[in-house]
């Protein structure tokens, strides 16, 4: 049975990736990593970030609201202190990068060339400080510009991660493709709130946070379907994938690979279990090659 998939020039042994922000070197020992398609690091920024004030997490009946605020040690320390250990984990490493201004993206990309990574995911769900705080990923022109700049600055494989907060996700997907992206991933979290009625205060320190988990799956699935029909480059689906059946829905909708996020926080074995479930399904359906299943939704 063939499980390997190609995301442009990047070939993966199977379509299961660990999403950004749910994996760390500290928790690596909890994950069975011998058969993961790729690991995406938590987002790294040029300068270190302390992250947002607590509370940073709130669990809802079908999802998780988080407001971590891209806590990280900054690019320099990441490359020196963390990247060498990531590269020893035995799975391709995709580094997620983000910036406070457009120029941060190509600057960081250039620094990461020749360091042994499989590629870059561009986290476009953060505010552009230089442009009044608008999320990079909400503005199609900005998406195209950033992707183009990163491609020009580096030879790396790159995958912009689209935000569902964009007014038209197909438009931002097309902009990413026009900019020269090798693949697109979608979606990041949906802006959300939860309120403590007794104290009349937000459950989240920054008032709002990003919703992930089963609650967002049907919307993420619809977005993946729409984007996969509109672009020619491979699409990586993400959002509420908790089971093999969820992953298969995304693949049938048009995703070449999937990212597992919140499910890893509940059970770090879930990427492995999802892969095993996919294998069982392919056997039952007598499908020899996972690629035969991609984008097979019937009209």
Is 163 an interacting residue with respect to ligand FMN (CB under 6 A)?
A: no
256-295 residues in contact with ligand FMN (CB under 6 A) are: 260-263
Tell me, yes or no, if 126 is annotated catalytic: yes
Q: What is the DSSP string of 23-64?
A: --TTTGGGS--TT-SEEEPPPB-SS-B--PPSP-EEEETTEE
159 vs 147: CA distance, rounded Å: 9
Local structure of 272: helix, strand or coil: helix
Local structure of 298: helix, strand or coil: coil
Residue among 73 and 287 whose Cβ is closer to ligand FMN = 73
Is 96 an interacting residue with respect to ligand FMN (CB under 6 A)?
A: yes
Span from 85-93, 175-183, 236-244, 268-276 in contact with ligand FMN (CB under 6 A): 236-244
Is 65 an interacting residue with respect to ligand FMN (CB under 6 A)?
A: no
Is 95 an interacting residue with respect to ligand FMN (CB under 6 A)?
A: no
Is 240 an interacting residue with respect to ligand FMN (CB under 6 A)?
A: yes
Single out the residue of 70, 143, 147, 290 in contact with ligand FMN (rule: CB under 6 A): 70
Is 239 an interacting residue with respect to ligand FMN (CB under 6 A)?
A: yes
Strand ranges for 151-208 from DSSP E: 158-162, 184-186, 190-192, 195-196, 201-202
Residue among 1 and 134 whose Cβ is closer to ligand FMN = 134
Residue found by looking up tokens 């870059």 in the block: 120
Residue 235 bridge partners (DSSP): 184
Is 112 an interacting residue with respect to ligand FMN (CB under 6 A)?
A: no
Written as six digits, the tokens of 255 are: 């995703």
Local structure of 189: helix, strand or coil: coil
Q: Active-site residue among 126, 159, 257, 274?
A: 126
224 vs 221: CA distance, rounded Å: 5
Measuring CA to CA, which residue among 201, 189, 118, 113 is closest to residue 152?
Answer: 113
In the complex, residue closest to ligand FMN by CB: 21
Single out the residue of 238, 253, 282, 290 in contact with ligand FMN (rule: CB under 6 A): 238
CB of 235 to ligand FMN, least distance (A): 14
**Residues in Cβ contact with 10 at an 8 Å cutoff, skipping those fewer than 6 apart:** 38, 92, 118, 119, 157, 182, 183
- Which residues of this chain interact with ligand FMN, rule CB under 6 A? 19-22, 42-43, 64, 66, 68, 70, 96, 123, 161, 188-189, 212-213, 216, 238-241, 260-263
Q: Which residues are catalytic?
A: 126
């Amino acid at each position: 049975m063939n499980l390997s998939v190609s995301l442009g020039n990047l070939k993966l042994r199977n379509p299961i990736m660990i999403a950004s922000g749910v994996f760390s070197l500290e928790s690596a020992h909890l994950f069975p990593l011998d058969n993961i398609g790729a690991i995406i690091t938590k987002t790294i920024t040029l300068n270190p970030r302390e992250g947002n004030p607590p509370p940073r997490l709130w669990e809802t009946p079908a999802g998780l609201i988080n407001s971590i605020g891209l806590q990280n040690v900054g690019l320099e320390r990441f490359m020196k202190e963390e990247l060498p250990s990531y590269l020893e984990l035995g799975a391709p490493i995709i580094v997620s990068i983000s910036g406070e201004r457009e120029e941060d993206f190509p600057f960081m990309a250039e620094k990461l060339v020749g360091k042994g990574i499989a590629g870059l995911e561009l986290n476009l769900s953060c505010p552009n400080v230089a442009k009044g705080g608008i999320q990079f990923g909400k503005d199609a022109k900005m998406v195209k510009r950033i992707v183009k700049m990163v491609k020009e600055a580096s030879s790396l494989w790159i995958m912009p991660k689209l935000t569902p907060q964009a007014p038209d996700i197909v438009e931002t997907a097309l902009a990413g493709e026009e900019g020269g992206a090798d693949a697109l991933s979608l979606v990041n979290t949906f802006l959300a709130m939860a309120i403590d009625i007794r104290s009349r205060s937000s459950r989240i320190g920054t008032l709002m946070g990003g919703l992930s988990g089963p609650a967002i799956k049907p919307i993420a699935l619809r977005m993946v379907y729409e984007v996969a029909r509109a672009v020619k480059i491979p699409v990586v689906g993400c959002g509420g994938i908790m089971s093999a059946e969820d992953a298969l829905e995304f693949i049938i909708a048009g995703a070449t690979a999937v990212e597992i996020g919140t499910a890893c926080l509940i059970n770090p074995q879930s990427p492995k279990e999802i892969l095993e479930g996919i294998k069982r399904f392919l056997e039952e359906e007598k499908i020899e090659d996972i690629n035969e299943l991609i984008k097979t939704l019937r009209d």
